[in-house]
């Protein structure tokens, strides 16, 4: 194809995609009979700028929460969902640091040179920097995984955990970017507890010294990321819950998800062949962890009795980590209520990627004699239970199939969101959070920063969806990580495993679980979408390479 023909095809693709999005928008509008330009959220924001609390889980699957179909006890988050909104088609990037870059900059990670992880261009300022200059107080607690110090990123107070391999005895952690003494045994330190308590302390400090100013609090838990470690009393509450095995638990979750109206379709078969290339082999897992470990997913009844016991214990620890995180969020909610800030605080909760099939040993190694979940153990969830956590979607963290990039999104704001317990079906992405917060905070993002021009933000404000179940229109949503690739335009999605993998095509309107590949049936549509992905990939790489820090 000549250059002129290629350009003509791209013009056709742009028009076709715009029509596809516009059609979905029109259908939503006809069904609702309302305008996306008006919302109770927007009118409430005109009265007083809301406080914002963003809570990010680490490696939590789509269906781990009770309000998204899971059996883990998460009453705090379920309560926020029951009195707010649940988004059913919200996306992260499939990995921890690109997701944090997308949320904190408002750009795809490739646009800001953060996937692969490098330093941001000068123009790629962070969300808290802009909020701080507009009168917000800014606080952070937990994981960072962004280039540069936390305070240099715009936060005024920070509790930072950089040791992600030890939940009971970190080798390093920081307050305001300065190292603090390591915890002692009598401190009963646990990372989730510490992250929540520091968030609460920043709120108490704010109430005392800055009560009349709005605040932005970012709480980034390290749970339930490996190593699977949790207090023994928490694990005990789930010890017997998973003896029925992952086949039964997955089916139960799937039935609840359909009953809740979150996702419908067909439940995909297990995928025993797609695993992280850096995982320990089956032989290494047996040698270094024990005969109860397994690195493959398949029917539960194919496991030995010893494997069933061990796998049951692992999932109990994962559940305990999610449970303890929920209780930590409860401390934050209680503090917001006590300081009279709960009603005008927008709380957003999500996960940085899907559940992980990774199985490796880091930190202090693994003691096979240690109880699963104890400080001397180092276990990963593995593909069996990760498949359950990501129910009903395919694959895991790192991949761009729905299991890797789909996240719950709970939005709760009593003063600005009138809906209670409703679902929002609009597709959205972490890059949408910055435009949403900017709108509510009445901030116009700068066209340049540090003397360098900034590209337009790729995301769209979700504020219209706070009032009604409307579609927030995007030309497309872009994904790329570890060579895995995807693009969603309207209800159509292309996805491939690895740079040499064949492109697959799905109509997510009827096949959200990606069970019917239409690539061979619709080659023209596939070609058009691939051309868009390739164009955006080149453009984003060029943007990420600009500027120096």
> What is the chain's mean pLDDT, rounded?
92
Give the pLDDT confidence score for residue 472 in this predicted structure. 98
Active-site annotation holder among 96, 140, 429, 474: 96
Distances (CA, A) of 544 to 123, 263, 312, 536, 539: 10, 35, 44, 12, 9
3-class DSSP assignment, residue 216: strand
Pairwise CA distance, residues 354 & 219, whole Å: 18
Q: Is 96 a catalytic residue?
A: yes
Pairwise CA distance, residues 274 & 393, whole Å: 14
Mean pLDDT of all residues in 209-213: 96
**pLDDT tens digits, 48-63:** 899 999 999 999 999 9
Pairwise CA distance, residues 155 & 82, whole Å: 31
pLDDT at 255 over 80: yes
pLDDT at 29 over 60: no
**pLDDT tens digits, 141-162:** 999 999 999 999 999 999 999 9
Q: Which residue ranges make up each domain of the chain?
A: 35-466+473-544
Pairwise CA distance, residues 407 & 160, whole Å: 24
pTM: 0.91
Pairing of strands 173-175, 484-489: unpaired
Give the pLDDT confidence score for residue 40 in this predicted structure. 44
CB count, 10 Å around CB of 499? 10
pLDDT at 18 over 70: no
Give φ, ψ of 196 to 5 degrees. Answer: -65, -45
Provide, rounded to the nearest whole percent, the portion of the chain with pLDDT above 70.
91
Mean pLDDT of all residues in 93-103: 98
Task: Name the more confident of 15 and 465.
Answer: 465
Work out whether the CA dihedral 119, 158, 62, 276 comes out positive or negative: positive
Among 80, 123, 326, 355, CA closest to 219:
326
Confidence of residue 546 (pLDDT cuts 50, 70, 90): confident
Give the pLDDT confidence score for residue 47 in this predicted structure. 66
Mean pLDDT of all residues in 162-184: 97
Among 221, 227, 223, CA closest to 166:
227
Active-site annotation holder among 140, 145, 366, 468: 145
Q: Is 481 a catalytic residue?
A: no
Mean pLDDT of all residues in 350-361: 98
**pLDDT tens digits, 259-286:** 999 999 999 999 999 999 999 999 999 9
Confidence of residue 32 (pLDDT cuts 50, 70, 90): very low
**pLDDT tens digits, 403-453:** 999 999 999 999 999 999 999 999 999 999 999 999 999 999 999 999 999
Distances (CA, A) of 165 to 186, 360, 376, 493: 20, 11, 11, 35
Give the pLDDT confidence score for residue 28 in this predicted structure. 32
Confidence of residue 33 (pLDDT cuts 50, 70, 90): very low
Pairwise CA distance, residues 379 & 366, whole Å: 8
**pLDDT tens digits, 374-410:** 999 999 999 999 999 999 999 999 999 999 999 999 9
**pLDDT tens digits, 63-92:** 999 999 999 999 999 999 999 999 999 999
Please name the CATH architecture into which domain 35-466+473-544 falls: 3-Layer(aba) Sandwich (3.40)
Cα Dmax for the chain: 72
248, 62, 357, 541 alpha-carbon torsion, rounded to 10°: 160
Residue pair 330/76 in contact (Cβ under 8 Å)? The answer is: yes
Give the pLDDT confidence score for residue 391 in this predicted structure. 98
Q: Helices in 442-513 by DSSP H: which ranges? A: 463-467
pLDDT at 251 over 60: yes
């Amino acid at each position: 194809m000549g250059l002129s023909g290629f350009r003509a095809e791209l013009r056709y693709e742009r028009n076709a995609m715009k029509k596809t999005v516009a059609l979905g928008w029109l259908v939503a509008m006809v069904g609702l009979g309302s305008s996306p330009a008006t919302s109770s959220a927007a009118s409430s924001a005109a009265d007083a700028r809301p406080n914002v609390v963003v809570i990010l889980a680490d490696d939590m699957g789509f269906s781990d929460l009770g309000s998204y179909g899971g059996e883990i006890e998460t009453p705090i988050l379920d309560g926020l969902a029951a009195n707010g909104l649940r988004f059913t088609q919200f996306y992260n990037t499939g990995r921890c640091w690109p997701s944090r870059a997308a949320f904190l900059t408002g750009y795809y990670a490739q646009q800001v040179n953060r996937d692969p992880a490098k330093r941001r261009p000068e123009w790629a300022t962070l969300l808290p920097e802009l909020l701080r200059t507009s009168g917000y107080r800014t606080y952070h607690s937990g994981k960072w995984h962004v280039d540069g110090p936390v305070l240099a990123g715009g936060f005024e107070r920070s509790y930072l955990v950089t040791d992600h391999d030890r939940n009971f005895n970190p080798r390093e952690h920081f307050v305001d970017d300065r190292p603090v003494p390591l915890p002692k045994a009598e401190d009963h330190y646990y990372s989730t507890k510490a992250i929540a308590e520091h968030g609460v302390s920043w709120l108490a400090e704010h109430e005392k010294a800055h009560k009349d100013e709005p605040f932005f609090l970012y709480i980034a838990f390290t749970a339930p990321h490996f190593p699977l470690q949790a207090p023994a009393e928490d694990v005990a509450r789930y010890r017997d819950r998973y003896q029925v095995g992952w086949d039964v638990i997955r089916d139960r979750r799937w039935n609840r998800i359909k009953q809740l109206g979150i996702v419908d379709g067909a439940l995909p078969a297990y995928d025993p062949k797609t695993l992280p290339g850096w995982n320990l082999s089956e032989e290494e897992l047996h040698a270094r962890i024990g005969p109860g470990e397994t690195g493959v997913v398949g029917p539960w009844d194919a496991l030995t009795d010893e494997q069933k016991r061990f796998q049951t214990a692992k999932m109990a620890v994962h559940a305990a980590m999610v449970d303890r995180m929920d209780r930590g969020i409860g401390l934050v909610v209680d503090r917001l209520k006590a300081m009279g800030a709960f009603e005008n605080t927008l709380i957003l909760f999500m996960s940085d990627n899907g559940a992980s099939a990774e199985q490796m040993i880091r930190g202090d190694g693994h003691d096979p004699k240690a109880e699963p979940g104890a400080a001397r153990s180092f276990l990963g969830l593995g593909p069996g239970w990760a498949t359950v956590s990501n129910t009903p979607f395919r694959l895991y963290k790192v991949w761009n199939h729905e299991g890797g990039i789909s996240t719950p999104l709970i939005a709760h704001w009593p003063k600005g969101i009138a809906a209670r317990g409703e679902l929002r079906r609009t597709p959205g992405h972490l890059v949408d959070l910055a435009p949403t917060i900017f709108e509510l905070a009445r901030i116009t993002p700068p066209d340049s920063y540090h003397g360098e021009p900034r590209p337009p933000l790729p995301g769209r404000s979700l504020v219209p969806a706070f009032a009604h179940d409307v579609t927030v229109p995007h030309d497309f949503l872009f994904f790329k990580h570890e060579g895995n690739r995807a693009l969603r335009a309207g209800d159509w999605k292309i996805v491939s495993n690895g740079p040499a993998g064949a492109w697959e095509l799905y109509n997510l309107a009827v096949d959200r679980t990606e069970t019917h590949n239409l690539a061979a049936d619709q080659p023209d549509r596939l070609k058009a979408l691939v051309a868009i992905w390739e164009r955006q990939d080149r453009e984003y790489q060029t943007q990420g390479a600009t500027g120096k820090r």
